[in-house]
Amino acid sequence: MIKVENLHKSFGETKVLKGISTTFEQGKTNLIIGQSGSGKTVFLKNLIGLFEPNEGNIFYDQQKYGDLSTSNRTELRKKIGMVFQGGALFDSMTVEENVMFPLKMFTKKSNAEMLHRVHEVLERVNLNEANQKYPAEISGGMQKRVSIARAIVNYPKFLFCDEPNSGLDPRTATVIDKLIQEITKENNITTVINTHDMNSVFEIGEKIIYLQDGILAWEGTKDEIHHSNNKDLSDFVYSSNLFRKVRQAYQKGL
C-alpha cells in the first residue's frame, strides 16, 4: 500500500503538484491519468524517489519515506520495480542479461540461482524463446514484456509503469495491460501506472486518479467514471467518439 499525504512539488516559482493526497492499495492496478502537463510524471517521480517533495509525505506500507535513513531508502528501492516508457532495455545486453541485471545489482544469488529466476519470469511473460536475442531483434511488444520481466525479477512489492503501452498496437497494448494486472494480483503488488490510454482505464482501472493542473481533481473506479459529474474528467476521458458511445451504452445498461 502507498499512502500519499498533501504532496507538493515545485520547480523554482513553478508549483507543479499542489497538495495531492490519495492511497494506492496492494494487489490493485492504480492508474494516473490527466492532460499533458498536469503533473503525472512529476508525481510518479516523487513516488519512486527520483524527486524529493517540497511538502507532504509518502508512506510505503506504513514506512514514511521522509523518515527513512539512506540505507533504509536503498532497501526500499530494492522492493520497487519499474517499467519505463519505451522499455529502456540495455541494447548491448541479451534479453536474459537485461532481466538478470537487477539480481546482479541487488542480490548475492549464484549465477545458477539467478538464471533459474530469470527463466521463471521470462516464462511468466511468455518469452522463453527469445532469451539470447538482443532488444533490437525483438518486437516492441516483446521488449515491453522483457521490461516487465526485469521489473518483477526481484520480487517487488511496488511496481511503477510509465506509459507501458506507448508505441504498441491496441491488441498488444491490451495483452500488456492484462499481463500487468495478472502479475499484480498473483504477487499482491501495489501497482501504479501512468497512462494516456483510455483502453487501459476501462480494461484494468481498479483505481484511477485524475490530475488536473497539479491537483487531484477526481478519483474512483473505471465504473464510477461513467457516472461521474466531473465535467473536466468527462471531457478528457470521452474526448473520442468511440468512448462517448461506450458511455452511452454503459448508461443504458447495455
Q: Which residues bind ligand ATP (CB under 6 A)?
A: 11, 14, 16, 34, 36-42
**Shortest spacing between CB 32 and ligand ATP, in angstroms:** 8
**Shortest spacing between CB 208 and ligand ATP, in angstroms:** 14
**Shortest spacing between CB 114 and ligand ATP, in angstroms:** 34
101 vs 236, beta carbon nearer ligand ATP: 236
CB atoms within 10 A of CB 64: 12
- Helices marked H in the chain: 40-47, 70-78, 95-106, 111-124, 140-152, 170-187, 198-204, 222-227, 231-237, 241-251
**Shortest spacing between CB 134 and ligand ATP, in angstroms:** 28
Report d(CA 78, CA 66) in Å as an integer. Answer: 17
| Amino acid letter for position 44 | L
16 vs 204, beta carbon nearer ligand ATP: 16
**Shortest spacing between CB 39 and ligand ATP, in angstroms:** 4
CA distances, 233 to each of 33, 212, 239 (Å):
10, 9, 10
1 vs 215, beta carbon nearer ligand ATP: 215
CA distances, 75 to each of 70, 106, 139, 155 (Å):
9, 9, 34, 13
39 vs 156, beta carbon nearer ligand ATP: 39
9 vs 207, beta carbon nearer ligand ATP: 9
| Amino acid letter for position 163 | E
